[in-house]
Amino acid sequence: MQTYSGVIKTPLDAIILFEACRIGLLPRVQRRLSDHERSLICAGSVFVWDEREAGMRRWTDGKSWSASRVSGSFLTYREMEGKRKPYQGTSSDSTVKRSSSIDPHNSLNSFQQDDSGAGSMSDDSSMDDENMRGLHYKPNGLIKQSFSITTSLNHKLHLISYSSPIPDPSLVSPSCDVNLSRITIPYGLYPDAGPPLVQAPKFLAPYDIPVEKVACSEDARVLDKLRQALWL
């Protein structure tokens, strides 16, 4: 059921997986995970889905998570021990608290609500600071990252990846995976990513310039006159 096994380090890694799924090289998640599939989640598990295709906006994995933290273009969560307690307050209050940890100016981290108006794009079991009181980070627990983007064709794509606090050297990132090395990112398909994310810098082809047409500074002109005077 998972899309990929590896580590997601940069937005480019996520874009590569989105494109690999688009061309059929990797599978996208088509539905919510079963209880058995949730139990198989481990460090290195990566899931990609299209919001319209899978019919889901939020990701549920049955685990308890800390409040989200912005880490570059990603939202990051840490696994908690136990289960969250029911929130005592209005759904709008919960929404405000959760959205306060997200950069409103980052288009890649847009906060999305479910139909009830309470919840985040990533997981309905992530906890705000109020619900986290008395709970602790799970020893050797997982770290979850979420990444979302809307393509130029208006496809809303999401990625969830899991990792361990202790890096696993056997896990590679998509940008370093030889099996994905031939993937090219179509220009303009992922506009929110920006050209610097998916394109190498463009350089003009080198060509010869006549020396007499090369601009020179005033200091260079003075030195040239001194040389001519010495030669005379």
Q: How far apart are CA 189 and CA 202, in angstroms?
A: 19
pLDDT of residue 13: 96
State the average pLDDT over residues 128-142: 71
Q: How far apart are CA 126 and CA 146, in angstroms?
A: 12
Q: How far is CA 59 from CA 120, 145, 159, 229, 230, in A?
A: 9, 11, 9, 79, 79
Write the pLDDT tens digit of every residue in 71-126: 989 999 999 987 655 545 544 444 334 433 434 334 333 333 333 333 345 554 55
Instruction: Provide the residue ranges of all domains of the chain, joining segments of one domain with +.
Output: 4-198
pTM, to two decimals = 0.66
CB atoms under 10 Å from CB of 114, counted, come to: 15
Q: How confident is the model at residue 128 (pLDDT cuts 50, 70, 90)?
A: low
Write the pLDDT tens digit of every residue in 183-212: 999 999 998 665 545 444 343 344 444 444
β-strands 143-150, 74-78 pairing: antiparallel
pLDDT of residue 167: 87
Q: Which are the contacts of 185, defined by CB distance < 8 A and separation ≥ 6?
A: 15, 16, 19, 198, 199
67, 127 Cβ separation under 8 angstroms = yes
Q: How far apart are CA 148 and CA 138, in angstroms?
A: 26
With residue 221 as reference, give the H or E element that holds it: helix 218-231
Count Cβ atoms within 10 A of the Cβ of residue 197 and give its class: 0-12 exposed, 13-18 middle, 19 or more buried.
middle
